[in-house]
Amino acid sequence: MFGYFKAAKRFFGSAFNEKDLGFVARQLGVEQSEISLQPLQEANYRRLKNTILNHFGCTEFEEQAKKIVALEIRSMVRSQLRPRLILEQLVEILIRRKIEVPTFHLLSGLIASEINAHKRQLVKLTESLLTEKAKRLLDRLMESNDASADKIKRYYLTLIKTFSHSLQPSAIKSNVEQLVTLRELYSEIRPVIEKLDLTREGLRYFATYVLKSPTWCLTAREEHDRYLHIITFVAHQYYQLQDLLVDVLLSSVTAINNTARREHKELCYEQRTLKNSSLANIIETVEDLLSGYAEIHGISHRQGLPSDSKIELIKKLLQENVSSIRDAIKHVSNLKQVKTSNEIDFYSILESKSLKLQNRVAGIVKALEFREDCSDRPLYKALCYYRERDGALSDSVPCDFLTPVELSLLRDNDGKFRVPLYKILLFGKIAEAIRAGTLNLEHSYKYRTLEDYLIERSAWDDGKKVLIERWPSGYRKLP
List pLDDT tens digits, range 171-209: 999 999 999 999 999 999 999 998 988 888 888 888 888
pLDDT tens by residue, 47-82: 888 888 888 888 888 888 888 888 888 888 887 788
CA dihedral 320, 325, 327, 328 (to 10 degrees): 150
Side-chain-facing half-sphere of 179: CA atoms under 13 Å: 24
Confidence of residue 37 (pLDDT cuts 50, 70, 90): low
Our measurement of the distance from residue 129's CA atom to the centroid of its chain's CA atoms, rounded to an integer in Å, reads: 32
pLDDT tens by residue, 201-241: 888 888 888 888 888 888 888 888 889 999 999 999 999 99
Q: Does 423 score more than 90 pLDDT? A: yes
Spatial contact of 440 and 448, defined as CB atoms under 8 Å apart:
yes
The pLDDT value recorded for residue 205 is: 87
Q: Give residues with Cβ within 8 angstroms of 49, minimum separation 6.
A: 1, 11, 60
Confidence of residue 476 (pLDDT cuts 50, 70, 90): very low
Which whole number is the average pLDDT over 128-141? Answer: 88
Q: Give residues with Cβ within 8 angstroms of 5, minimum separation 6.
A: 11, 52, 53, 56, 100
- Please provide residue 157's backbone torsions phi and psi, each rounded to the nearest 5 degrees: -60, -40
The pLDDT value recorded for residue 374 is: 81
**What pairs with residue 155 in β-bridges?**
144
The pLDDT value recorded for residue 468 is: 66
Distance between CA atoms of residues 58 and 35, nearest Å: 28
Between 279 and 33, name the one with better pLDDT. 279
CB atoms within 10 A of CB 448: 19
CA dihedral 383, 384, 385, 389 (to 10 degrees): 110
Spatial contact of 164 and 175, defined as CB atoms under 8 Å apart:
yes
Confidence of residue 470 (pLDDT cuts 50, 70, 90): low
Q: Give residues with Cβ within 8 angstroms of 254, minimum separation 6.
A: 431
The pLDDT value recorded for residue 479 is: 40
Q: Does 121 score more than 50 pLDDT? A: yes
Whole-angstrom distance between the N-terminal and C-terminal Cα of the chain? 40
User: Helix, strand, coil proportions of the chain in percent (round to 5)?
Assistant: 70, 0, 30
The pLDDT value recorded for residue 175 is: 93
* C-alpha closest to that of 365 among 434, 417, 418: 434
- Please provide residue 209's backbone torsions phi and psi, each rounded to the nearest 5 degrees: -60, -45
Distance between CA atoms of residues 423 and 416, nearest Å: 15
The pLDDT value recorded for residue 471 is: 57
The pLDDT value recorded for residue 466 is: 64
Confidence of residue 475 (pLDDT cuts 50, 70, 90): very low
Q: Does 380 score more than 70 pLDDT? A: yes
Buried b / exposed e over 364-393, threshold 16 CB at 10 Å, is: bbebbebbeebbbeebbbbbeebeeeeeeb
Between 473 and 88, name the one with better pLDDT. 88
Which whole number is the average pLDDT over 350-362? Answer: 92
The pLDDT value recorded for residue 459 is: 66
Distance between CA atoms of residues 47 and 59, nearest Å: 14
Distance between CA atoms of residues 229 and 80, nearest Å: 14
**What pairs with residue 12 in β-bridges?**
14
CB atoms within 10 A of CB 354: 19
Spatial contact of 6 and 56, defined as CB atoms under 8 Å apart:
yes
Q: Does 97 score more than 90 pLDDT? A: no
CB atoms within 10 A of CB 237: 26
